[in-house]
Amino acid sequence: MKLHTRTQTAQQSRNASPVVLVHGLFGSLDNLGVLARELVADFDIVQVDMRNHGLSPRSDVMNYPAMAHDLLDTLDELGIDKATLIGHSMGGKAVMAATKIAPQRIDKLVAIDIAPVDYQVRRHDEIFSAINAVSEAGITSRQDAAATMRQHGLEEGVIQFLLKSFVGGEWRFNVPALWDQYPHIVGWETVPAWDHPALFIRGGNSPYVDESHRDALLAQFPQARAHVIAGAGHWVHAEKPQPVVRAIRRYLDAEGHSV
């Protein structure tokens, strides 16, 4: 599947691999815009809408092998042989899954607040409930949608995040497919060891990555380096963008290109 993309050319060329930015569940290519704005000074940037999100095609299938193939199909469409992949949450799992399918096409890898594990927990049922309530009520305005989601107990930051994908009274994600495939989204199929330096960034207040995930993470990414952003939660790049950008830049500048 070829994904909907937004591409930007580096303001000054470093002969570096393009950077592909991959959003998480319920997101769109705009969600990592803060990283795109900072990194485009030195890197060509590709932002993608993942399948069943934004303006990309819809599918009943939503697992990480499929999402990884989507990323590679999109690189083919853009004529990109090798890229640096940066993904948040679901997007982080998608870029990690790509190391199994085409390890030679990944130059560097950054996973933001996610581990390569099967979480076996449902963190988004309240969000699904609020989204469905908006749809069932036939709401068309963002103001009314926000009011309905508040009644379902969603935090204001989550509401504003979701509203970015509420356009003309329609959600720009495939809610039935995401609900049906949710066990695959929180799940994980172990990948062979990708023996190149990888950066794992996590929010200090986030429950998504902790010491219990260490062994599984290092088994699959033995050269992984961790960077914790203090005082940030799961949306660490939105809450603390500058520390995240600095960590990514240090990683991209310090490591030689993988071979």
Q: Which tokens in the block code for residue 172? A: 């720009």
Catalytic residue among 56, 89, 165, 258: 89
118 SS3 class: coil
Catalytic residue among 23, 88, 184, 234: 234
Q: Which tokens in the block code for residue 2? A: 């070829």
Contact in structure between 182 and 89 (CB atoms under 8 Å): no
Examine the residue annotation and report whether 234 is marked as an active-site residue of this protein: yes
Q: Which helix (H) or strand (E) holds 85?
A: strand 83-88
Q: Residue 224: what are its φ and ψ, rounded to 5°?
A: -65, 145
d(C-alpha 25, C-alpha 23), whole Å: 7
Which strands make up the sheet holding 45-48, listed edge to edge? Answer: 5-8, 45-48, 19-22, 83-88, 106-112, 198-203, 224-229
Examine the residue annotation and report whether 89 is marked as an active-site residue of this protein: yes
137 SS3 class: coil
Instruction: Point out the residues that are catalytic.
Output: 89, 234
